[in-house]
Amino acid sequence: MKKLDILKKLRSSGLRPTKQRVEIAKFLFERDKTFHFTIESLDKLLAKKTSSKFALATIYNTVHAFKEAGHLSEVEVRGNKSYFDTNVSNHHHFYDSETAELIDIDANDIVIQKIPKAPNGKKIKNVEVFINLKN
Amino acid sequence: MKKLDILKKLRSSGLRPTKQRVEIAKFLFERDKTFHFTIESLDKLLAKKTSSKFALATIYNTVHAFKEAGHLSEVEVRGNKSYFDTNVSNHHHFYDSETAELIDIDANDIVIQKIPKAPNGKKIKNVEVFINLKN
DNA sequence: TTTCACTTTAGAACAATTATAAACTAGTTT
DNA sequence: AAACTAGTTTATAATTGTTCTAAAGTGAAA
């Protein structure tokens, strides 16, 4: 993803392309593969890779803004920290609790044959499959 | 589940059956249906139902001890709080984010036809299906 | 270039959880 | 049954992840 696309992405989401947002967006979205992170890990990685230093609150603000805009998704992971994912399409995850690492599973690689219907007046919003790994 | 069984359950897990543990265990396990809770909700419910007042730390200690012993399971729910479940068999969940409520899905009510194999040297520990509900 | 709503920032505040250390107690030993 | 001891409970402090606040800064429109 090129810088121009990033500016477009931000503007089309109603997000003013500030220096911080552009740098964080470049870091997150200029990748071939899906990227999984927590705020803490992102903070550390940004501190290493970029010259500028962002306030922690800015990282929280930005990640939430990107999530609201649909550019990031949040993943269910047991524990206290929130995990985010640059893959916003419908998909699933392996989770390796040894390394606290998430691995994407393409939606097509899991086929569910039978599923219960939603309770009283509710609808199914989405189905997440979470596969815990062990050694 | 009778009181004697509860004493047995505790002792066989290497947990001394203290007054607090017995009361909390009775509250959690003397039920027909599965019970889902957070530490906060359990604390409130115990405060109402039982005459005695437990220290919050005791509730944390006890719930963790029961979880370690395999009498409770912890459920993946996005957000800051931990959810626990008295159903420790292999099963799945609906989650209603409107009410922050979990509903059990029997393992037999979900059939997965196709599943990817675990990555490099890892094995699958378990598969959790999480169905988010909307109105 | 001025203006102004939106952003960033440092630090305070908050919420969930874990750690601490003193008081207490179940169960064993005497 | 009294004493002992290791495990437990308790109130409180500490820690961790996250959100709030209010002052200073900045894109972009006029």
CATH number at residue B79: 1.10.10.10
Same domain, A66 and A7: yes
Confidence of residue B72 (pLDDT cuts 50, 70, 90): very high
Strand D contact at CB of residue B55, distance < 7 A: yes
User: Is A87 part of any domain?
Assistant: no
Question: What pLDDT shows up at residue A127?
Answer: 95
Strand D contact at CB of residue B57, distance < 7 A: yes
Contacts of B64 in chain A (CB under 8 A): none
Q: Residue count of chain B, please give it.
A: 135
How far does A93 lie from chain B, in Å, by closest CA? Answer: 10
Q: Which residue has the higher pLDDT, A69 or B79?
A: A69
Cβ(A103)–Cβ(A96) under 8 Å? yes
B133: closest CA among A60, A83, A39, A128? A128
Same domain, A12 and A67: yes
Locate all alpha helices (DSSP H) within B3-132, ordered by sequence: 3-12, 19-29, 39-49, 56-68
How far does B5 lie from chain A, in Å, by closest CA? Answer: 30
Q: Which residue has the higher pLDDT, B97 or A125?
A: A125
Strand C contact at CB of residue A57, distance < 7 A: yes
| Residue A71, domain extent | 3-75
The total domain count for chain A is: 2
User: Is A81 part of any domain?
Assistant: no
CA distance A125 to A114: 16
- The pair of three-digit structure tokens given for residue B22, joined into one six-digit string: 């017995």
Strand D contact at CB of residue A82, distance < 7 A: yes
Confidence of residue B51 (pLDDT cuts 50, 70, 90): confident
Residues in a beta bridge with A134 = B123
What region, left, alpha or beta, does residue A51 occupy, with left being phi > 0 and alpha being psi -120 to 50 degrees?
A: alpha
How far does B52 lie from chain A, in Å, by closest CA? Answer: 30
Residue pLDDT, tens place only, A63-98:
999 999 999 999 978 878 999 999 999 999 999 988
Q: Give how far the C-alpha of residue B58 lies from the chain's centroid of Cα atoms, to the nearest Å.
A: 17
Low-confidence residues in chain A, pLDDT < 70 = 1-4
Question: What pLDDT shows up at residue B3?
Answer: 59
Is it the case that residue B2 has pLDDT exceeding 70? no
Cβ(B92)–Cβ(B129) under 8 Å? yes
Confidence of residue B79 (pLDDT cuts 50, 70, 90): confident
Question: What pLDDT shows up at residue B23?
Answer: 96
Contact A78 B74 (CB under 8 A): yes
Q: Which residue has the higher pLDDT, A80 or B18?
A: B18
Confidence of residue B1 (pLDDT cuts 50, 70, 90): low
Is it the case that residue B127 has pLDDT exceeding 70? yes
Same domain, A13 and A71: yes
CA distance A15 to A19: 12
Question: What pLDDT shows up at residue A80?
Answer: 81
Maximum CA pair distance of chain A?
A: 54
User: Is A13 part of any domain?
Assistant: yes
User: Is A9 part of any domain?
Assistant: yes
Q: What percentage of chain B exceeds 70 in pLDDT?
A: 97
Same domain, A25 and A71: yes
- Closest nucleotide to A15, Cα to C1': C6
User: Is A112 part of any domain?
Assistant: yes
Contact B124 A134 (CB under 8 A): yes
User: Is A33 part of any domain?
Assistant: yes
